Amino acid sequence: MTSISIPKASELKSCLVNGFKSFRHLKQAHARLFRLGLDQENHLLNTLLGYCFQFGKTNYSNLIFNHTLNPNIFLYNTMIRGFVSGDLFEDSIRYYRLMRSNDVLPNSFTCPFVLKACARILDYDLGFQIHNIATKLGFDTDSFLEMGFRPEGPILVQILSACAKLGEVEIGEWIHRYINLNAKGKNIMVDTSLIDMYAKSGQMEKARAVFDEMPEKDVVSWTAMIQGYVANGFPKEALDIFFEMQTKNIRPDSYTLVGVLSACTRLGAMDSGEQAISSIDRKELVADPVLGTALIDMYAKCGNMNQAWRVFAEMKDRDIVVWNAAIDGLSINGYVEIAFALFVQMEKLGIHPNGNIFLSLLCGCTHAGLVYEGRKYFNSMEHVFALTPTIEHYGCMVDLLSRAGLLREAHHLIQSMPMEPNVIVWGALLGGCRLHRNTHLAEHALEQLVQLEPWNSSNYVLLSNIYSANNKWCDAERIRAKMSEQGIQKIPGFSWIEVDGNIHEFVVGDKSHPLSDQIYVKLAELLKDLRAVGYVPTTDFVLFDVEEEEKENFLGYHSEKLAIAFGLISTPSDHVIRVVKNLRVCGDCHAAIKIISRVTGREIVVRDTNRFHCFVDGASATVLVRTVQSHAG
């Protein structure tokens, strides 16, 4: 056995000055301090503590400190700094509180590290206490705090970021005012943190005002605006600011591109998304799981599942989020059987599914009307995979059963839920009642919806249409009158189409577009061609449409038809027409667009709030099935 030599006094001094080679070496030195009666010498113990943290031995540092009878400020600072450096922020704050309880005042070395810990765990109350103490003691002018505590330093920026996460806008604004009053000129980090705070609180006008006043902007500040617009439901504004960023020759990073791709996903602007990533190497795209997932999601929700699948197939690092994006894309595009196969493949690879995977599978079952499969996956969550279904999973099951006409079973499932049903659940039941004209149960569902969201016009409109379909005109009029009395406005329907990188928006009967005359001429030609092959406008569907078009005349001027007509006159004959609508597509439009795809020879993809409608030559597209089956088995 190798003997261990205990350091002599001279060797001990050398160790404390020059450092230790190992943790065992440090423990030998600590033992020597006890033999020499130096175990309470704070300046020697401070050196030992510092090396304990270097070796990652936080338990031993606690042991040394706890056996120290009169620790001074330097020992406290070493403990606080050591824990912060190891991301043990709660422990660092615990030592700060211990220090104050023992009436030890902080010095200029204490404040930056405690402030950093406060920022990381969002303890802004203690952060402001530290700030006040530091100001009273005059530490805010200390040179050590030049990059930490001074107004332009990163510590206050972190606290400002904490305010953003907590929604503490007033506190954040106070910090920003303090910084502006004391700092030497504006600081990009500080202004970007304020933009982020406003964006997280939904105040994009204030965020834009701060952004416009910034003398200098880096990629982080541009990204904060892009992601803020996307998160607050302004995807078109997000793209506008991205294109403005490009004119400034600022290269986007992966965070920027994720925000841009999310905006393109919302708008169905696939061409803009491809333009955004055109300067990025393909290998770099698929090597980043977050960016690759965003790209899969964009292609899938633009109805181009072939491209989405290619990205998925090229990705080597596939985490559960990547698998979910692929399964979700297949489900919403109608390739449910392939989604099932991919789920099986994922299981074989030993990847444990999460709740989002099952949500995608259940949504696919709903759109395909696969009741048996939906029940199987829903039941397997708890019994096979030990996952507790959430209210979203129950909502999918209610939707699936309701669409299949199993309204009694759907209602029973709602009554047996372990949580209170929300608007999604009752809305799913109401949609089934609309489809199967069950007025009695629809009234019950609507009563619940009105209690949960009395401002939502679609609930009233839907029930009114159900009454109309059953010739209950007085009841329908009563609902409409109630809406009018309460000042409830119907949500207008919008449709978007991207042509040459520009987003064009249409509403029902829209004549504001510069090419409006040509669009209506094209619509008239289409209607003539449609009638020639036997199409007759289905006015029954108007009764169930969430838009307020109740005459056959208006059926031809729904927003999605206007967008499609514009696409036909503005794009080459081999170009896929992709339209996104903020409400659901009515039955008449669905039937008409199917025939339009046949008479024009165009592939048409329309995405509404429920699902994708993809037509090629008057039928559902099936090209992907062959492509994916070769990979998924």
Q: What is the pLDDT of residues 73-108, one digit of tens each?
A: 888 888 888 888 888 888 888 989 888 888 888 877
In a domain, 572, yes or no: yes
- Please determine, for residue 244, whether its predicted confidence score (pLDDT) is greater than 50: yes
The rounded distance, in Å, linking the Cα atoms of 108 and 128 is: 16
* Average pLDDT over every residue of 549-564: 68
Cβ neighbours around 100 below 10 Å, total = 14
Task: Give pLDDT, residue 158.
Answer: 62
In a domain, 216, yes or no: no
- Please determine, for residue 175, whether its predicted confidence score (pLDDT) is greater than 70: no
Task: Give pLDDT, residue 149.
Answer: 43
Length of the chain (residues)? 633
Name the pairing type of β-strands 502-507 and 494-499.
Answer: antiparallel
In a domain, 87, yes or no: yes
Range of 29's domain? 9-145
In a domain, 441, yes or no: no
How big is the chain by its Cα radius of gyration, in Å? 32
Last residue of a domain, one of 145, 173, 197: 145
Instruction: Return the residue matching tokens 């530290």.
Output: 130
- Please determine, for residue 150, whether its predicted confidence score (pLDDT) is greater than 60: no
In a domain, 606, yes or no: yes
* Average pLDDT over every residue of 216-232: 93
In a domain, 570, yes or no: yes
The count of structural domains within the chain is 2
Its sign, for the CA torsion 479, 481, 486, 487, is positive
Cβ neighbours around 221 below 10 Å, total = 22
Q: What burial class does residue 549 get, using C-beta atoms within 10 Å of its C-beta: 0-12 exposed, 13-18 middle, 19+ buried?
A: buried
Task: Give pLDDT, residue 394.
Answer: 96
- Please determine, for residue 56, whether its predicted confidence score (pLDDT) is greater than 70: yes
Most confident of 68-72, 183-187, 568-572: 568-572
Q: What are phi and psi of 603, to 5 degrees?
A: -85, 130
If one compares 304 and 131, the residue with the highest pLDDT of the two is 304
Last residue of a domain, one of 77, 111, 145: 145
- Please determine, for residue 553, whether its predicted confidence score (pLDDT) is greater than 60: no
Cβ(104)–Cβ(76) below 8 Å? yes
pTM of the complete model beyond 0.75:
no
Alpha-helix residue ranges (DSSP H) falling in 387-511: 391-403, 407-415, 423-436, 439-452, 457-469, 473-485
The rounded distance, in Å, linking the Cα atoms of 546 and 404 is: 21
Task: Give pLDDT, residue 633.
Answer: 37
In a domain, 130, yes or no: yes
DSSP state of 146: T
Least confident of 73-77, 127-131, 272-276, 513-517: 127-131
Dihedral in degrees, nearest 10, Cα atoms 607, 612, 616, 619: -130
- Please determine, for residue 286, whether its predicted confidence score (pLDDT) is greater than 70: yes
Task: Give pLDDT, residue 146.
Answer: 42
Last residue of a domain, one of 145, 177, 210: 145
- Please determine, for residue 280, whether its predicted confidence score (pLDDT) is greater than 70: yes
Cβ(396)–Cβ(424) below 8 Å? no
In a domain, 360, yes or no: no
The model's confidence at residue 539, banded by pLDDT at 50, 70 and 90, is low
Least confident of 112-121, 172-181, 338-347: 172-181
Beta bridge partners of 577: 604
Closest CA to 259 of 282, 290, 217, 289: 290
Grouping H, G, I as helix, E, B as strand and the rest as coil, residue 494 is: strand
